[in-house]
Amino acid sequence: MRAVVRLIILSLIASLFAGAADAAPAPLPRLVVILVVDQMRGDYLDRFGFQWTGGLRRLVDDGAWFRRAAYPYFTTVTCAGHATVSTGAFPRTHGMVGNSWFDRDTGRGVLCTSDASVTTISYGAPVAGGNGPSRLLVPTLADEMRAQLPVLSRVVTLSGKERTAITLAGHRADAVSWFSSAAGTFVTSSAYTPTPVPFIADALKASPVASDYGKTWTRMLPIDRYLFTDKGLGEKPPAYWTSEFPHVLAGSDGRPDAQFYDAWTTSPFLDDYLGRLAIASVNALKLGQGRGTDFLGVSFSALDSVGHDFGPTSHEVQDVLARLDQTIGALLAHLDRSVGAGNYVVALTGDHGAAPIPEQTAALGIDAGRLDAATLTQAAVKGLQAAFGAGEYTVHSQYAELILEPAVVEKLRRDPRALDQVLGALRAVPGVAGAYFGDHLDADAAAGDRDARAALLSYYPGRSGDFVVVPKPYWFYVTADGTPQPGSATTHGSMYAYDQHVPLILFGAGIKSGEYLRAATPADIAPTLAHLCGITLARIDGEVLVEALLPAAVPPPLPARPAGAPKQ
Ligand SMILES: [Zn+2]
């Protein structure tokens, strides 16, 4: 009897494989596109989406929209977010714990992409220093595409910032370009190419950034299409602008200088330029038009600068998005013509959100404020003096983290009472919600502390601080040498929803459109795109968003076990 049952099961399996062989295999996307909008909050889609008619509109309407997507970790900043998108891992795995961190070997802060072994390759004025992917500890999706696909993928990334262009690309690429104020144009790195890439040089020459000099940024839409007010409480525009439109892009002495380039990167002109450079790259390298699958990554940076200065309800933020909608629309229309609609797949997301401007929150009677990070170091020193007696203690601060002398950390490890005194001093600082000793994050998280869990996902031993200090909701730190500058109206970098919740939309080849309400994170983007390309990522924290895949792209399901069949 048992043999008969086994025979039936075997024939069921055989028929399943026969069926699978008959079904047309899912075609590989010819181009994978990742679009990251720096500082784009998830709720902008609901709030401002009615203003959009172009590419953002198309992605929302025709894509697979994961409405609850959010980063689950504490340090919601640019470098960490982009590395999470490109690798499918969280900072605890990919190692990009912040835009910068304290390097214990040299006793100095380092940028996440700084690399003394490489040089900057400039398309304009020479630029000192070097940036590269050496601190990114896992391969990116683009790296794995190049490694695994039978036809070598061409990889292009473009951005207003080095840390986003580099992290989106990974360890090798055909063109990785970002804007540099010091160069007055775009630059790249000897990590990718020993000389300027000819097609990028041609595109920059054909349309110099300086040709935007003297232009005026005005509202694109009629004023009654904007929500909230143009002159919001607590806005901190750059010194050369007011909080109200229009904004002129000019230098301090009538020519393109640092002020002009600062204004340009705080305006939609930057994003528009990136969109045109992306189209030029598609044309020059015939991306998505060869035999393999290529990769294009664009990080639109303007929203971050604008959001920091004007805040998330400002007319400026709404206008950057309304114009980005047109920029992305033009890019998608170009991909339809050159690659073919349905032959490419797009992922759209943000790298982090942004807090409301504290003055606006406080005016509603809700506790909110800014906290000078130096206050934390002073509190730590006081705690150490209370624990160990008067003396000199060196405490470095890196945003929400504190780094102590190794010998002092060792003493704290052996002295729980002294550790409690330091933690108590930090927790007593106004605006602080909680303080954690890095060594204990694992245990604190295991005990059910949600903030500790979020901090742990951002924590990489040796790079992260000895202490992690969590601000209260609507509070954030300002530092002289970190993000943001003390003059910023607002910032991001916490585990609160306004910082963690971002858009996540998949669109195009192999994607089933719709709205999806399950929890998701931007770490799911790379695994899902890898699945569509038929490749694997070795070490991920995210997962494949199977609900959004068209049936052909999902592996065939196992046969249902017939009722009464023996367990196997
Ligand atoms: Zn920012």
DSSP line for 107-136: TEEEETTB-TTS-EEESSS---S-B-STT-
Measure 217 CA to ligand 1 centroid, in angstroms.
21
| Mean pLDDT value of segment 544-550 | 96
Measure 389 CA to ligand 1 centroid, in angstroms.
39
Q: What is the pLDDT of residue 482?
A: 44
Closest CA to 461 of 406, 533, 387: 406
The Cα 486–Cα 239 span in angstroms is 14
| Mean pLDDT value of segment 492-518 | 97
The residue whose two tokens read 């916490």 is 494
Measure 568 CA to ligand 1 centroid, in angstroms.
53
Q: What is the pLDDT of residue 420?
A: 98
The residue whose two tokens read 């008067």 is 390
Measure 313 CA to ligand 1 centroid, in angstroms.
16
Q: What is the pLDDT of residue 120?
A: 98
The Cα 524–Cα 88 span in angstroms is 6
Measure 491 CA to ligand 1 centroid, in angstroms.
6
The helix/strand/coil state of 68 is: coil
Measure 303 CA to ligand 1 centroid, in angstroms.
9
As a whole-number percent, the residues of the chain with pLDDT over 90 amount to 89
Measure 381 CA to ligand 1 centroid, in angstroms.
29
Strands 31-37 and 344-350: parallel
Measure 302 CA to ligand 1 centroid, in angstroms.
10
Measure 331 CA to ligand 1 centroid, in angstroms.
25
Measure 328 CA to ligand 1 centroid, in angstroms.
21
> 284 with 278: CB under 8 angstroms?
no
Closest CA to 186 of 111, 62, 274: 274
Task: Tell me the pLDDT tens digit for each residue of 220-240.
Answer: 999 999 999 999 999 999 999
Statement: residue 8 has pLDDT above 50: no
Q: What is the pLDDT of residue 354?
A: 98
Measure 408 CA to ligand 1 centroid, in angstroms.
33
The Cα 150–Cα 225 span in angstroms is 49
Measure 25 CA to ligand 1 centroid, in angstroms.
42
Statement: residue 11 has pLDDT above 50: no
Measure 104 CA to ligand 1 centroid, in angstroms.
25
Closest CA to 382 of 349, 424, 340: 424
Phi, psi of 500 (to 5 degrees): -85, -35
Measure 304 CA to ligand 1 centroid, in angstroms.
5
3-state helix, strand and coil shares in percent for the chain, rounded to the nearest 5: 40, 15, 45
Q: What is the pLDDT of residue 19?
A: 40
The residue whose two tokens read 């604008």 is 306
Cβ neighbour number for residue 365 with a 10 Å cutoff: 7
Rg of the Cα atoms in the chain: 25
> 477 with 333: CB under 8 angstroms?
no
Measure 23 CA to ligand 1 centroid, in angstroms.
47
Cβ neighbour number for residue 394 with a 10 Å cutoff: 11
Which residues have a Cβ under 8 Å from the Cβ of 37 and sit 6 or more positions away?
299, 300, 303, 324, 348, 349, 350, 503
Q: What is the pLDDT of residue 18?
A: 40
Statement: residue 392 has pLDDT above 90: yes
Measure 77 CA to ligand 1 centroid, in angstroms.
7
Amino acid occupying residue 286: K
Task: Tell me the pLDDT tens digit for each residue of 349-379.
Answer: 999 999 999 999 999 999 999 998 899 999 9
Statement: residue 206 has pLDDT above 60: yes
The residue whose two tokens read 């009897």 is 1
Measure 481 CA to ligand 1 centroid, in angstroms.
14
Statement: residue 485 has pLDDT above 60: no
| Mean pLDDT value of segment 450-469 | 98
Q: State the average pLDDT for the chain.
A: 93
Q: What is the pLDDT of residue 563?
A: 56
The Cα 342–Cα 325 span in angstroms is 20
Question: Which of these ranges, 6-20, 243-257, 457-471, has the smallest mean pLDDT?
Answer: 6-20
Using CB atoms within 10 A of its CB, is residue 117 exposed (0-12), middle (13-18) or buried (19+)? exposed
Question: Which two structure tokens, joined as six digits, stand for 428?
Answer: 């007593």
Task: Tell me the pLDDT tens digit for each residue of 19-33.
Answer: 444 445 557 899 999
| Mean pLDDT value of segment 335-358 | 98
Measure 49 CA to ligand 1 centroid, in angstroms.
22
> 500 with 74: CB under 8 angstroms?
no
| Mean pLDDT value of segment 106-131 | 97
As a whole-number percent, the residues of the chain with pLDDT over 70 amount to 91
Q: What is the pLDDT of residue 480?
A: 54
Task: Tell me the pLDDT tens digit for each residue of 66-99.
Answer: 999 999 999 999 999 999 999 999 999 999 999 9
Measure 64 CA to ligand 1 centroid, in angstroms.
26
Measure 326 CA to ligand 1 centroid, in angstroms.
23
Measure 78 CA to ligand 1 centroid, in angstroms.
6
Task: Tell me the pLDDT tens digit for each residue of 274-312.
Answer: 999 999 999 999 999 999 999 999 999 999 999 999 999
Measure 306 CA to ligand 1 centroid, in angstroms.
9
Q: What is the pLDDT of residue 236?
A: 94
Q: What is the pLDDT of residue 27?
A: 76
Measure 305 CA to ligand 1 centroid, in angstroms.
7
| Mean pLDDT value of segment 5-17 | 45
Q: What is the pLDDT of residue 373?
A: 87
Question: Which of these ranges, 196-210, 319-333, 483-497, 507-521, has the smallest mean pLDDT?
Answer: 483-497
Measure 267 CA to ligand 1 centroid, in angstroms.
14
Measure 543 CA to ligand 1 centroid, in angstroms.
27
Measure 353 CA to ligand 1 centroid, in angstroms.
8
Measure 454 CA to ligand 1 centroid, in angstroms.
19
The sign of the torsion formed by the CA atoms of 226, 229, 232, 236 equals positive
The residue whose two tokens read 């007010």 is 229
